Amino acid sequence: EAGVAQSPRYKIIEKRQSVAFWCNPISGHATLYWYQQILGQGPKLLIQFQNNGVVDDSQLPKDRFSAERLKGVDSTLKIQPAKLEDSAVYLCASSLIYSGTSTDTQYFGPGTRLTVL
Amino acid sequence: GQNIDQPTEMTATEGAIVQINCTYQTSGFNGLFWYQQHAGEAPTFLSYNVLDGLEEKGRFSSFLSRSKGYSYLLLKELQMKDSASYLCAVRASRTYKYIFGTGTRLKVLA
């Protein structure tokens, strides 16, 4: 079974530029998460999709970040314009729809390391 | 609100046993997860607890006390490859949102 795919793996941009990240979840996984992980910290949830609907985006800086999940499969996360403090690893994860006593967990992609200069 | 606390760093010797603690405060609990994250890599799932008690999986065990808001991850027969960060995460009951702690960086010394 293929895992969560992300691209690009690395990106270097200057502040005020735009950048986009792509994620393809595990086939059949309805829930998709985007996290920001700053060095030395745990992942922070930016946005959570259930199919193509947003479940939680309370920590997404909506003045500069946007995300979409068309057709409930692939997703893109965009930053426009980028700031120095956006330098981080952006992780995408997916999971099945939770039901009953399932021990369903989320599976992470390799991440995109963003450096803003 | 939701809050998860775990130690920032721990050091142990190869072959030893180490316990990494995690305390949490959350509204709507739907399970506690432990992930391992090697430097520069994505987190990988280690264990899951939703009921009180101990779950054992090989060299790794995880314990949960919901009334105390407390969990620990126990690693036995430490190996050098266990040097990594260990993330404690709580899943919320309504949204299935995961809240992560800052992670505990474990160094295993020869």
B47 touches chain A (CB under 8 A): no
| pLDDT tens-digit series, residues A40-65 | 999 999 999 988 899 999 999 999 99
Q: Are A91 and A37 in contact (CB under 8 A)?
A: yes
B97 touches chain A (CB under 8 A): yes
Task: Look over chain B and give the mean of its residue pLDDT values, rounded to a whole number.
Answer: 94
B3 touches chain A (CB under 8 A): no
Closest by Cβ to A48, choosing from B41, B44, B97: B97
pLDDT of residue A1: 64
Closest by Cβ to B103, choosing from A42, A48, A55: A42
pLDDT of residue A103: 64
Contact B30 A45 (CB under 8 A): no
Q: Are A44 and B43 in contact (CB under 8 A)?
A: no
Contact B44 A108 (CB under 8 A): yes
Contact B87 A111 (CB under 8 A): no
CA-based angle B90:B94:A28, to the nearest 5?
Answer: 85
Contact B98 A103 (CB under 8 A): no
Contact residues, chain B, for A91 at CB < 8 Å = 42-43
Task: Specify the higher pLDDT residue, B72 or A2.
Answer: B72
CA distance A29 to A5: 13
How close A75 gets to chain B, by Cα (Å)?
A: 18
B1 pLDDT more than 70: no
Q: Which of A26, A39, A108, A112 to mutate to test the interface with B (most CBs of B within 10 A)?
A: A108
Per-position DSSP letters for A7-73, written without gaps between them: E-SEEEE-TT--EEEEEE--TT--EEEEEEE-TTS--EEEEEEETTEEEE-TTS-TTTEEEE-GGGS
Given a cut of 50, the residues of chain A with pLDDT beneath it are 100-101
Contact residues, chain B, for A44 at CB < 8 Å = 100
B96 pLDDT more than 90: no
How close A67 gets to chain B, by Cα (Å)?
A: 17
Confidence band of B52 (pLDDT split at 50, 70, 90) = very high
Span B33-47, mean pLDDT?
Answer: 94
For B34-105, where are the alpha helices, taking DSSP H only?
A: none
pLDDT of residue B46: 94
pLDDT of residue A25: 95
